[in-house]
Amino acid sequence: MNIAANAKDAMPLGGQFIIETSNVEINDEHLNKYHGLKKGHYVTISFTDTGVGIPSNFIDKIFEPFFTTKEYSTGLGLSTVYSIVKKHKGSITVHTEKDRGTTFKVYLPRVDKKIEKVFIEKEDKIYTGNETVLVIDDDENVRKLVIEILKKLGYKPLEAVTIDMALLMAQFYNKTIHIVISDVVLPGIGVSVLIRRIKKYRPNIKVLYMSALPVNTLKKYGVDENSDNFIQKPFSIELLSKKIREVLDK
């Protein structure tokens, strides 16, 4: 999804975005070409756009956390992709040409053994409420979606586009704010610092953190992914409704 979002931004006048899959065998002859992968069988996922391309002086930086050329971006899209690929013992390469497009290729080890079926218990109950909820997320699509869900569940959502707006609401909103739902990574200051400042004005406010980052990277932001106060993006309406009630009622 992060690669697709970047491809869309690279084609403001339209274009093509092509996803292809294939099998590849890497042997001794090709090891250097595949950026440190071991010999073996891999599945390749290729993402190609016909956009403006990536400037050559940015190529070595695109997978670095917080590096971005966009005005409204956390710079975590491709670093998250890189983290996921490496976590699964894979590799990612990029080929780009100015005004002709970019291709990312992801190589993931192929599993030949039989896959065991995994059954995940689905939360199918919807929990509702009427409390006031402050939503903080610089991603407009996510923020609007969470607010729409909250309305349908009966809550009174307050929308904070920026950290400054969140602090102003915490200080001056003239009614009780029962819970804040905040993304873990926000431009400006860390979320743990933001929550401490909010609690100066609202010491009894509850907190629910949300993030799409790999869970093993969250501790550096002061968030425990095993806590009841955390929900991993993407999430279902059912799970979000349950998490909100758990945090509010405990």
- Name the CATH architecture for the domain at 132-249: 3-Layer(aba) Sandwich (3.40)
Sign of the Cα torsion 63, 88, 103, 75 reads: negative
Nearest partner of 164 among 175, 172, 154, judged by Cα: 172
The single-letter DSSP state of residue 38 is P
Report pLDDT for 157: 96
8 A C-beta contact, residue 186 and residue 136: yes
Question: Would strands 230-232 and 17-26 be described as parallel, antiparallel, or unpaired?
Answer: unpaired
Same fold, 2-109 and 132-249: no
Neighbour count for residue 1 (Cβ, 10 Å): 10
Give residue limits of the domains in the chain: 2-109, 132-249
74-99 mean pLDDT: 83
The single-letter DSSP state of residue 88 is T
| This prediction's pTM | 0.56
8 A C-beta contact, residue 179 and residue 248: yes
3-state DSSP assignment of residue 97: strand
Which CATH number is associated with domain 2-109? 3.30.565.10
Structure tokens at 14: 């339209």
pLDDT single digits (tens) 168-220: 999 999 999 999 999 988 877 788 889 999 999 999 999 999 988 776 777 77
